[in-house]
């Protein structure tokens, strides 16, 4: 199970697309070299390779990067990761497999369907109950890691740099409201994804 894979770097489509572009053009570059244009060190490269893997764009986290068949379609049609089709693809891949990203799977497919509205405290309690079996010390009540995961989930689904444009949740005062946007996907084949980009 993969729980805390992002460190302090949240899902940022511009960073993901930029790092992917560099890594594919310069497959021998290290994480440190890949991170330099963004003003960061090696951990930046590691985290965004992880995001690319969790979101189904690359086959494995290690270097050199290798695109998945779906990742090849995405890169061909939207190399800057800007379209709603791309954002829905990243979302579906991120939340589908609990083995790849357990907290994200929990939020989108377990917690959100049960909560029309929720506070950060509600989500924090849900994450604690879901993740504490891994380690009471690391994910039990009062966990700093759970607070980091909570912050990253909220940022991804409310900020434009992440997946906020999907409109899954909206902040209203001290709570969040679940929205029901018109969804695209998920796509089962690379041909189906390519067709969605051509519409």
What the chain holds in terms of domains, given with CATH numbers, is 102-178 (1.10.10)
Distance of CA 58 to the CA centre of its chain: 13
In the numeric block, the tokens 């244009």 are attached to 37
| Nearest Cα residue to 128 out of 106, 161, 113, 109 | 106
Q: Which residues, 6 or more positions from 163, have their beta carbon under 8 angstroms from its beta carbon? A: 11, 13, 87, 90, 91, 156, 157
Please tell me whether the overall predicted TM-score, pTM, comes out greater than 0.85 for this model.
yes
User: What pLDDT, on a 0 to 100 scale, did the predictor assign at position 178?
Assistant: 97
Q: How far is CA 16 from CA 4, 47, 180, 199, in A?
A: 18, 10, 26, 24
Q: Return per-residue pLDDT of the chain as tens, 199 residues.
A: 444 555 678 999 999 999 999 999 999 999 999 999 999 999 999 999 999 999 999 999 889 999 999 999 999 999 999 999 999 999 999 999 998 899 999 999 999 999 999 999 999 999 999 999 878 878 889 888 899 999 999 999 999 999 999 999 999 999 999 999 999 999 999 999 999 999 8
In angstroms, rounded to a whole number, what is the distance separating the alpha carbons of residues 137 and 61? 27
In angstroms, rounded to a whole number, what is the distance separating the alpha carbons of residues 97 and 2? 10
In angstroms, rounded to a whole number, what is the distance separating the alpha carbons of residues 98 and 9? 20
The helix/strand/coil state of 170 is: strand
Q: Two tokens at 75?
A: 């890169």
49 contacts 58 by C-beta, under 8 angstroms: yes
């Amino acid at each position: 199970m993969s729980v805390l894979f992002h460190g302090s770097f949240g899902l940022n489509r511009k960073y993901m697309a930029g790092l992917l572009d560099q890594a594919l053009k310069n497959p021998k570059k290290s994480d440190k070299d890949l991170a330099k244009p963004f003003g960061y060190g090696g951990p930046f490269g590691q985290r965004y390779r992880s995001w690319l893997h969790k979101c189904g764009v690359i086959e494995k986290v290690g270097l050199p990067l290798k695109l998945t068949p779906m990742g090849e379609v995405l890169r061909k049609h939207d190399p800057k990761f800007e379209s709603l089709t791309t954002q829905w693809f990243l979302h579906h891949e991120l939340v589908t497999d609990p083995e790849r990203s357990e907290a994200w799977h929990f939020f989108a497919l377990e917690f959100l369907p049960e909560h029309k509205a929720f506070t950060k405290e509600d989500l924090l309690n849900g994450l604690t109950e879901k993740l504490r079996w891994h380690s009471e010390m690391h994910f039990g009540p009062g966990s700093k890691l759970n607070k980091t995961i909570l912050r990253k989930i909220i940022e991804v689904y409310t900020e434009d740099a992440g997946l906020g444009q999907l409109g899954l949740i909206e902040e209203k005062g001290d709570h969040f409201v679940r929205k029901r946007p018109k969804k695209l996907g998920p796509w089962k084949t690379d041909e189906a994804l390519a067709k969605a980009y051509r519409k």
